[in-house]
Amino acid sequence: MEKWFVIQKGADFNAIAARFHISPVTARLIRNREITDEAAIEKYLNGTLDDLYDPHLLLDAEHLVAILADKIAHEKSIRIIGDYDIDGVMSTYILYQGIMRCGGVVTTKIPDRMRDGYGINMHLIDEAYGEQVDTIITCDNGIAAIEEIAHAKELNMTVLVTDHHEIPYIEEDGRRQYVRSAADAIVNPRQPDCPYPYKGLCGATVAWKVIQLLYERFHVPAEEAYDFLENVAFATVGDVMDLTDENRILVREGLKCLHRTKNPGMRALILKNKLAPEQITAYHIGFVLGPCVNASGRLETARIALNLFLQKNELDAGIIAEELVELNKQRKDMTADGVEEAKRVVEEDQAGEKVLVIYLPKVHESLAGIIAGRIRELYHKPVFVLTNGEEGVKGSGRSIETYSMYEELCKCRECFLKFGGHPMAAGLTLAEDVVVFREKINACCELTEDDFIPKIKIDIAMPAAYPTITMVRELALLEPFGKGNGKPQFADKNLSVVRAYVVGKNQNVLKLNLRTEHGEPVAAVYFGDVEAWKAYYGAKYGADEVDAAFSGRANRIRMSAVYYPEINDYQGMESVQLIIRNYQ
């Protein structure tokens, strides 16, 4: 079941359209994204690198850079500790290349997901100390490593933290007390007293802002820092950050850099996925290239991905990129098996529970988060997938909009050896039994049945024959699309099915010839579950009517559809084709 509703936002759309030389449709879409005043609209449509916020505004950034610069000047050994996902790899790459450019003596360490777990830990600190490392700088981790950083300080090491995750806190009597480690400097825009205007940066962007300040201090031309924009954009999309405000500009400009990338590793990764640099969009980062980078950290070591981007020649880069593509294929197969097992567990044991806690002891622990996300999509409930790790039972969670996962975990923190994350995702290692955690996390859940019904937001109820090629081209002004700036959604009802047919190499794409209430022909395509589409309309109208539609005969089927219009280029002829997202 889904609830469809049309967003109703008021504004003088004609005036906005005239002011910014856009159509009233585009003006309405911008208003629907809560962008209202002229300055914000101008920035949304035409924001440039000049509109980025000053890195000096980041709390502790100048102090951190001063310490780092002193360590570089005195040739102290610096160790970067990153993370094993896209954001961690890109953060590590940016810091490493930036510190090297300024003459630093620097090495990198990306934790092994299985052996080390997430982020900086005692083992990595002791290892660095044994190798006479003077200074540790973290990226995309470290904000919650209270005990670990205290241990490093006991060893007289300097610790610098760059991170973007939620600030840990203890809640007593309804009041939050934020916890700060003993790190020498912490740069994280989410710190409650940080004046930085935008809090939604990924770890790679925080690292990049630090390098901007470091370049400034070492008199490196500011333009050189822009060489990292492709990595910042890659990480922002890959870590599923909101594509709003500053992130929107960073991704848009970073995509331009990707289109002409000179990095042999990036080029190889793109080419091995049968793409061309100039065609890369946010979609390709999120669903094609990014998963290859993540696959290395899941099934092998993320050092493979980092090594890819450090390559100097195309041949070596091609060999590594091929390995990542193959690892991603393995990851897909293993994920599919895990999703089927998770569905079985839910249907047999947990269908009535508000928070799904699924224990899959044989599943590779690196796939827990992906499987949790797929199950969340199926049931529209918060999901934790747990498996056996090196330190005991570990897991990842994926949430729905009405459930702040990190805050809910804080309510039963006694269940964990460690945990951390965002409102929409979390990672954890259990101290308690799985059953105990399952009971406690459900006991404090305040979600209602209405929270479990997906809400489909429709931007405009628009006749399916209305979109033109000109209109579709103008919608490109709203890109890049992604979390926080999704593709616009339009809807129409009472669409007759003139003919339905299945196409594609795997026979998994549904093409539809539709007709509007006014008799206008419309071409559409649906990339979802074809058998589910048949079953839905078979139950609603009868199997004979579905058979008639697939035979091109007259039938009673009437569709309501949520869609997005795209341009279909067939043998040089362009036409509008609707991509159907949802149907009723």
Domain 55-225 top-level CATH class = alpha beta
Does pLDDT of 253 surpass 90? yes
Using DSSP, state whether 153 is helix, strand or coil.
helix
* Residue-range domain boundaries for the chain: 3-7+455-583, 55-225, 352-452
Prior bond of 168 cis (ω within 30°): no
Which tens digit of pLDDT belongs to each residue from 529-538? Answer: 999 999 999 9
Instruction: Report the candidate in 522, 400, 386, 545 with the shortest Cα–Cα distance to residue 462.
Output: 522
> Rounded to an integer, what distance in angstroms lies between the CA atom of residue 292 and that of residue 297?
9
Which tens digit of pLDDT belongs to each residue from 552-574? Answer: 999 999 999 999 999 999 888 99
Q: What is the percentage of the chain residues whose pLDDT exceeds 90?
A: 90
For 245, left (φ over 0), alpha (ψ -120 to 50), or beta?
Answer: left
167 near 188, Cβ under 8 Å? Answer: yes
Q: For residue 87, report the phi and psi dihedrals to the nearest 5 degrees.
A: -65, -40
> Rounded to an integer, what distance in angstroms lies between the CA atom of residue 230 and that of residue 267?
12
Q: Which residues are CB-neighbours of 270 under 8 A, at least 6 positions away?
A: 258, 261, 276, 277, 280, 289
Q: For residue 109, report the phi and psi dihedrals to the nearest 5 degrees.
A: -145, 115
The confidence score (pLDDT) of residue 396 equals 94
DSSP run (H or E) holding 13:
helix 13-20
Which tens digit of pLDDT belongs to each residue from 161-213? Answer: 999 998 988 888 888 899 999 999 999 999 999 999 999 999 999 999 999 99
- In degrees, rounded to 5, the angle at the alpha carbon of residue 52 between the alpha carbons of residues 48 and 54 is 150
The confidence score (pLDDT) of residue 505 equals 83
492 near 479, Cβ under 8 Å? Answer: no
Q: Which residues are CB-neighbours of 355 under 8 A, at least 6 positions away?
A: 381, 382, 383, 384, 403, 408, 438, 441, 442, 445, 447
CATH number of the domain located at residue range(s) 3-7+455-583 in this protein? 2.40.50
When pLDDT is averaged across residues 435-456 and rounded to a whole number, the result is 95
Q: For residue 233, report the phi and psi dihedrals to the nearest 5 degrees.
A: -65, -45
Q: Mean pLDDT, the chain, as a whole number?
A: 95
The confidence score (pLDDT) of residue 404 equals 94
Tokens representing residue 370 in the block: 């992906």
When pLDDT is averaged across residues 53-59 and rounded to a whole number, the result is 98
Residue 47: DSSP 8-state: -
399 near 423, Cβ under 8 Å? Answer: yes
Q: Where are the beta strands (DSSP E) in 416-489?
A: 416-421, 425-430, 455-458, 460-461
The confidence score (pLDDT) of residue 418 equals 85
CATH number of the domain located at residue range(s) 352-452 in this protein? 3.10.310.30
Question: Measured on CA atoms in the order 449, 450, 451, 456, is the torsion positive or negative?
Answer: positive
End-to-end CA distance of the chain: 10
The confidence score (pLDDT) of residue 188 equals 98
The confidence score (pLDDT) of residue 373 equals 96
Which residues sit opposite 495 in a β-bridge?
559
549 near 530, Cβ under 8 Å? Answer: no
Q: How many CB atoms lie within 10 A of CB 332?
A: 12
> Rounded to an integer, what distance in angstroms lies between the CA atom of residue 292 and that of residue 305?
8
Q: Which long-range contacts (CB under 8 A, 24 or more apart) does 226-230 make?
A: 226/49, 226/257, 227/257, 228/94, 228/97, 228/98, 229/253, 229/254, 229/257, 230/254, 230/255, 230/257, 230/258, 230/261, 230/263, 230/266
Which tens digit of pLDDT belongs to each residue from 59-75? Answer: 999 999 999 999 999 99
Instruction: Report the candidate in 411, 407, 365 with the shortest Cα–Cα distance to residue 385.
Output: 365
Q: For residue 180, report the phi and psi dihedrals to the nearest 5 degrees.
A: -120, 135
User: Residues for the chain: how many in total?
Assistant: 584
